[in-house]
């Protein structure tokens, strides 16, 4: 039996994770869930501890982790989010952020019909380097003489392995995105690793775009992309754009992976949405699709395909939460999907 650690988290996290777990239960895959429902902002505000060593051990010794959302407006420090999500990413070396974007129904795209006709791509974001490592600092903070420095860290090891992963999952093409014309040192490293990986994968096409051009193409004709690979900060932005043109952030799933270990942390990317928490109007699609990524990576490919098909049918029928044009609450939207399994 595979043990899955579950961190429902904050805001709408517990609401959407409940629907994801009910959906996995209905698939009868022999999964066992270790629910860490005390890892949340309430605990952090009371104790100052974001993720205890004991809870980190429970998560890291599981088969995978399913996460709802982290974030609470009562917490004024980034220490909480970094202490949970970034600790798991960095200490477990989850160097791949895998963000698929596939249009579930034509009506959901903000683009004109001909541009939205077949959005189906993956943004592969380097997840443990870049600007988010916390390297840097400031002097004279709070004064008119303040100097702030954030260091974008790229290594050959980290860059080479993320580009190789992108080629390994591509169906037809990898587009490497950087800003080498302005960020010379890191850009040169990414260019070198990309060219080397392309030579090792002659069966896959490859091309390069600067990040501004990639963003423009994403909102004019995203159908030209198969797999995009890029650094941490650019990937953060481009993956959200991809989600928006594919139906909205409420439908966006993600996986944080270490492919060599076969370990992943799976999460919807919509955040904790505290303004609608407790109202049962949160969209469970992103959480359920994240659960689908999880079971797919565990080898349950037929079950994952059935989950995606049932979800697509429910969306096509308009049996969704209001953000996707329906009138169902969170629970009934989850039930509509499970009724089609």
Selecting among 25, 32, 42, 212, the annotated active-site residue is 212
State whether the Cα torsion 52-57-58-64 is positive or negative. Answer: positive
Active site residue 37: no
Residue 69 pairs with which residues in a beta bridge?
9
State the Cα–Cα distance between residues 275 and 74, nearest whole angstrom: 13
Contacts of 263 (CB under 8 A, 6+ apart): 60, 63, 64, 92, 94, 257
The structure tokens 């004109």 sit at 112
Active site residue 95: no
Q: What is the pLDDT of residues 309-334, one digit of tens each?
A: 999 999 999 999 999 999 999 999 99
| pLDDT value at residue 133 | 85
Active site residue 212: yes
State the Cα–Cα distance between residues 134 and 82, nearest whole angstrom: 10
The structure tokens 């104790």 sit at 47
Longest CA–CA separation in the chain, Å: 61
| Nearest partner of 258 among 93, 145, 33, judged by Cα | 93
| Nearest partner of 294 among 14, 12, 23, 9, judged by Cα | 23
State the Cα–Cα distance between residues 137 and 149, nearest whole angstrom: 5
Please give the structure tokens belonging to residue 26. 């209905």
| pLDDT value at residue 39 | 97
Q: What is the pLDDT of residues 1-44, one digit of tens each?
A: 689 999 999 999 999 999 999 999 999 999 999 999 999 999 99
| pLDDT value at residue 115 | 54
Indicate the length of the chain as a whole number.
341
Selecting among 106, 120, 221, 240, the annotated active-site residue is 240
State the Cα–Cα distance between residues 205 and 203, nearest whole angstrom: 7
Selecting among 179, 204, 266, 296, the annotated active-site residue is 179
Contacts of 192 (CB under 8 A, 6+ apart): none
| pLDDT value at residue 97 | 97
What parts of the chain have a pLDDT lower than 70? Answer: 1, 112-117
State the Cα–Cα distance between residues 233 and 54, nearest whole angstrom: 31
Q: What is the separation, in whole angstroms, between the first and last Cα of the chain?
A: 22
State the Cα–Cα distance between residues 133 and 126, nearest whole angstrom: 12
Please give the structure tokens belonging to residue 232. 């941490």
Please give the structure tokens belonging to residue 113. 């019909």
Please give the structure tokens belonging to residue 239. 């993956």
**3-state DSSP assignment of residue 152:** coil
| pLDDT value at residue 1 | 67
Q: Where are the alpha helices (DSSP H) in the chain?
A: 13-27, 41-47, 53-60, 79-81, 87-91, 156-169, 184-200, 211-220, 232-245, 285-297, 301-316, 330-338
Asked if 23 and 291 touch (Cβ cutoff 8 Å), the reply is: yes
Selecting among 10, 72, 236, 297, the annotated active-site residue is 236
Selecting among 132, 165, 234, 266, the annotated active-site residue is 132
């Amino acid at each position: 039996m595979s043990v899955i650690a579950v961190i429902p988290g904050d805001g709408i996290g517990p609401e959407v994770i409940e629907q994801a777990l009910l959906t996995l239960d209905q698939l009868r895959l022999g999964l066992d869930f270790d629910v860490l429902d005390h890892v949340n902002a309430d605990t952090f505000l009371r104790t100052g501890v974001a993720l205890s060593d004991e809870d980190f051990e429970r998560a890291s010794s599981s088969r995978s982790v399913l996460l709802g959302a982290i974030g609470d407006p009562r917490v004024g420090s980034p220490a909480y989010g970094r202490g949970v999500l970034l600790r798991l990413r960095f200490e477990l070396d989850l160097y791949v952020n895998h963000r698929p974007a596939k249009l579930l129904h034509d009506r959901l795209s903000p683009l004109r019909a001909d541009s939205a006709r077949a959005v189906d791509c993956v943004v592969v974001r380097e997840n443990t380097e870049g600007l988010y490592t916390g390297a840097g600092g400031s002097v004279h903070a709070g004064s008119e003489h303040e100097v702030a420095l954030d260091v974008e860290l790229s290594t050959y090891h980290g860059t080479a392995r993320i580009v190789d992963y992108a080629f390994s999952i591509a169906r037809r093409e990898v587009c490497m995105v950087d800003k080498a014309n302005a960020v010379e040192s890191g850009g040169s490293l990414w260019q070198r690793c990309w060219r080397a990986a392309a030579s090792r994968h002659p069966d896959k096409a490859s091309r390069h775009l600067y990040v501004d051009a990639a963003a423009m193409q994403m909102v004019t004709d995203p159908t030209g992309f198969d797999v995009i690979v890029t650094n941490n900060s650019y990937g953060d932005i481009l993956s959200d754009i991809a989600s928006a043109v594919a139906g909205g952030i409420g439908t966006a799933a993600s996986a944080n992976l270490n492919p060599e270990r076969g370990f992943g942390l799976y999460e919807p990317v919509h955040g904790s949405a505290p303004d609608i928490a407790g109202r049962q109007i949160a969209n469970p699609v992103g959480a359920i699709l994240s659960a689908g990524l999880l079971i797919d990576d565990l080898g349950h490919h037929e079950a994952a395909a059935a989950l995606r098909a049932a979800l697509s049918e429910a969306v096509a029928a308009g049996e969704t939460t209001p953000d996707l044009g329906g009138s169902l609450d969170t629970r009934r939207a989850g039930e509509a999907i499970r009724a089609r399994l």
